[in-house]
């Protein structure tokens, strides 16, 4: 049996760092954001359909995320149309990844609960941090504004709601503690697999 572990958390909670710790421990990670980058890149499967929807979003043969952000901020209805293109492509890539041979597979999905992905996972890990630390992390990103941050948060379930739905919670206050917590979680899952 392969344990399918969901990894999620609101923006700035340390999800990417946590995913990298799993990779460092030899656990394969499917990253929804990385997959979107590939779909938007030159030759990616989302380029042509997004080009039909928003022709000026195609720059040098790939999807410009900046143009998409700008167009979505002036017309919020575009987001749903873009998701109708991207979500089925993501689902196919994710299904292919599930064939990876490993005792544990991690699925790094920012909108995991919002899209109902928990239904097919064995358990879900939510990474979390205090609100002030989250805000500090996000606003230190290049080009991030308070308005963008608030829009992203408005699309995500609150940290409190995510924590209430989680099977496992890791506070990402320090790298050392996060690494130790991930190591312990891997051990916990492996012991469940042995007992199964």
Q: Find where tokens 């030159």 sit.
A: 42
How confident is the model at residue 98, as a pLDDT?
95
Residue 185 pLDDT class (50, 70, 90 cuts): very high
Distance CA 94, CA 91 (A): 5
Strands 62-63 and 58-59: antiparallel
The token duo for 68 is: 């998409």
| Burial degree of 185 (CB within 10 A; 0-12, 13-18, 19+) | buried
Per-residue pLDDT tens over the stretch 93-147: 999 999 999 999 999 998 899 888 899 999 999 999 999 999 999 999 998 888 8
Q: Considering the domain 1-28+104-196 in this protein, what is its CATH number?
A: 3.40.50.300
Among 77, 73, 54, 52, which residue's Cα sits nearest to residue 64?
A: 54
CA distances from 165 to 20, 39, 127, 158, 161 (A): 23, 30, 12, 11, 6
Rounded to two decimals, the pTM is: 0.88
Per-residue pLDDT tens over the stretch 60-101: 999 999 999 889 888 888 989 999 999 999 999 999 999 999
Per-residue pLDDT tens over the stretch 2-44: 999 999 999 999 999 999 999 999 999 999 999 999 999 999 9
Residue 156 pLDDT class (50, 70, 90 cuts): confident
Q: Between the CA atoms of 44, 51, 114 and 76, what dihedral angle is there, to the nearest 10 degrees?
A: 160
Percent of the chain with pLDDT strictly greater than 70: 100
How confident is the model at residue 177, as a pLDDT?
96
How confident is the model at residue 160, as a pLDDT?
93
Per-residue pLDDT tens over the stretch 50-59: 999 999 999 9
CB 68 within 8 A of CB 54: yes
Q: What is the DSSP letter of 122?
A: S
Distance CA 190, CA 169 (A): 17
Q: Which residues contact 166 (CB under 8 A, 6 or more apart)?
A: 124, 125, 126
């Amino acid at each position: 049996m392969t344990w399918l572990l969901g990894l999620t958390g609101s923006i700035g909670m340390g999800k990417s760092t946590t995913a990298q710790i799993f990779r460092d421990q030899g656990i394969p990670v499917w990253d929804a954001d990385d997959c979107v980058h590939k779909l938007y890149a030159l030759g990616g499967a989302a380029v042509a359909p997004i080009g039909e929807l928003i022709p000026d979003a195609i720059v040098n043969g790939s999807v410009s995320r900046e143009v998409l952000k700008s167009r979505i901020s002036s017309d919020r209805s575009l987001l749903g149309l873009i998701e109708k293109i991207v979500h089925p492509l993501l689902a196919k890539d994710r299904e292919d990844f599930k064939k990876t041979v490993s005792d544990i597979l991690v699925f790094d999905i920012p909108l995991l609960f919002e899209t109902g992905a928990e239904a097919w996972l064995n358990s879900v890990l939510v990474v979390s941090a205090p609100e002030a630390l989250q805000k500090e992390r996000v606003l230190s990103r290049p080009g991030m504004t308070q308005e963008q941050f608030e829009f992203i948060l408005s699309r995500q379930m609150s940290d409190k709601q995510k924590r209430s739905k989680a099977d496992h919670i890791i506070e990402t206050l320090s790298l050392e503690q996060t690494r130790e917590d991930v190591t312990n979680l891997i051990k916990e899952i492996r012991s469940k697999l042995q007992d199964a």
